[in-house]
Amino acid sequence: MRIVRALAGYPEIPVDFPILVSNAMAINEPTFAWLIELATIPGRSHSVETIRTYNEHLYDWFDALEQSSLDWRMVGETEIAYWRNRMLAQASPHTKRPYARSTINDRVHTVCRFYSWAHQRGWIDALPFHFVDVRVKQRRKSFLAHVDPRPGVVAANVLTVAQSERLPRALRVDQLRRFSAQLKMPYRLIAEWALTTGMRRKELCGLHASQVPATAHLEAEEHPLMGVALKITKGDSPRTTYPPIQLLDRTHRYINEEREPLVRRLRAKRPDYRAPAELFLTRSGRAISKAQLTRVFSAAFHAAGVEGSGHWLRHTFAMTMLIRLQQQSRETPDINPLKIVQLLLGHSSIQSTSIYLRCAEMNAPELSESIAWLYGALVGDGR
């Protein structure tokens, strides 16, 4: 079993669309039909990244079926449970770390969604899973859950595993300093963008040099923050982010002192070289990828002796911004701190943002110094 990408020339299939094929290069028709439908038919079609993730989940499932010589239409809960238990017992072959229970549930969720679709379309006669009543303290959406009229009860997919709620965590100033000290340019600059705007990896790597607004004619006191309209976002939803003007000044220095000299050197060596539009480049002149950014950040956190990941920079931004806005709302009661943070983070639902309320309250003492560091004088000199 393998994944191939669609080439240009097929109007009905998006370019680079992931296609699951057997080792004999035969297209897996049901998974192809389901993913094409998700990508093209709904009014709110799924993003390319979501389709890719679903395809990777299905690849792992169908690969397990192929290794066991099982027909996907003839399996039941026992076979899916065996696949789930294998992930619980074994480490990921990619990260070499145990699978998170949320990751396992995501995979089970995808497979069950596929089977639900196949059942509706007549590919199979019965679903290979069922639901059980689960009582919860607070009603929340569950994997393939059906709301029960009884208070606090949902019908949950029996194949999903229990997982404890993992609250986002923010980084302290001393941790941020140690982490930053392990980064070289332009990764240190990318970390500053993540920390002061809450941008995702995809958005940071997709930022174009042409999107950085000019600042030479502006005074920092009059324009402490500047809006940057993002072209690449999760779900392709338009969003504006607001980096500090000092960060934009440092970004222009990077462009003038590092990026442009790099491009000139590469052109001198390779006349056919053309610099990509992306702002952040590797030493070889290619745009920094999400995977590369993850590797560099992970290595820096490890070297600094700090538990964290690139996404923790986004968490830190969200919590410090929320507390700062809550402080401002005491004098300006018309503002809605949670709604503003939702817009800044690009969350489609305020439910995703509300988790930061509890986190901010729990970590308020530690975050007070981070607020001063992010929005006070220390932001200005980049220390």
CA distance 333 to 331: 6
Instruction: Look up residue 377 and give its two tokens.
Output: 């004088």
Average pLDDT over residues 303-324: 90
pLDDT digits (tens, 9 = 90+) for 219-266: 767 777 888 988 887 767 788 999 989 899 999 999 999 999 999 999
Q: What is the predicted pLDDT for the residue at 364?
A: 67
pLDDT tier for residue 376 given thresholds of 50, 70 and 90: low
Q: pTM of the predicted model, to two decimals?
A: 0.70
Closest by CA to 297, choosing from 179, 383, 198, is: 179
CA distance 308 to 179: 9
CA distance 284 to 34: 39
Which domains are delineated in the chain?
2-128 (1.10.150.130), 173-381 (1.10.443.10)
383 has pLDDT over 50:
no
The residue with greater pLDDT, 3 or 1, is 3
Q: What is the predicted pLDDT for the residue at 327?
A: 82
CA distance 304 to 146: 45
pLDDT digits (tens, 9 = 90+) for 78-128: 999 999 999 988 888 777 778 888 888 899 999 999 999 999 999 999 988
Average pLDDT over residues 348-360: 81
CA distance 189 to 250: 8
Q: What is the predicted pLDDT for the residue at 162?
A: 75
